[in-house]
Amino acid sequence: MEKVNLKTPQLKKLVIKIFKKHGLSDSHAAISAEALINAELVGAYGHGLSRLKMYCDRISKKVINPKPKIKIKKISQSISHIDANDSIGFVAADIGIKKAIDNAKKMYPPLSIISSLQFLSTFSSYSST
């Protein structure tokens, strides 16, 4: 197998294209690609691009829902429940983190409860943003 070197923007475009081919929306493909590439960039190689095939296989086997109907329920001023409808884990985590940040602006401490997500290989990209 020939080794190919790609710059991060080229790689991101390629991974987005692969996820979109498997049915993810533009935004969900971008969120997922960013997370996998970030894992590579921080040295968590076992949680990065090596997982791309696994995610695609899970989408093909209908374990991961590529077109989830994600529902957000406000439980209190600082708590939200996100029903991820078997979405890819990166999307559910992205929504949960953004909702917690939004909730923190109103009341502290914030909490996002996420249910029905499918596999999240790395969460570190959310702690560095």
pLDDT digits (tens, 9 = 90+) for 2-13: 655 668 889 999
Q: Determine the pLDDT at residue 100.
A: 87
Q: Determine the pLDDT at residue 123.
A: 57
Per-residue burial over 88-100, b if 16 or more Cβ lie within 10 Å, else e, is bbbbbbbbbbebb
Q: Enter the CATH code of domain 8-127.
A: 1.10.1530.10
> How large a percentage of the chain has pLDDT more than 90?
50
Degrees (nearest 5) of the Cα angle 70, 73, 76?
A: 150
- The C-alpha atoms of residue 67 and residue 24 are separated, in whole angstroms, by 6
Report the predicted TM-score, pTM, of the whole model to 2 decimal places: 0.83
**Who has greater pLDDT, 1 or 26?**
26
**Who has greater pLDDT, 123 or 72?**
72
Q: Write down the mean pLDDT value for the chain.
A: 86
**Residue 15 backbone phi and psi in degrees, to 5:** -65, -40
> Which of the four pLDDT bands, split at 50, 70 and 90, describes residue 118?
low
Domain ranges across the chain: 8-127
Model confidence over 49-86: pLDDT tens digits?
999 999 999 999 999 999 999 999 988 888 889 999 99
Q: Determine the pLDDT at residue 73.
A: 92
Choose among 38, 65, 57: nearest CA to 121.
Answer: 38
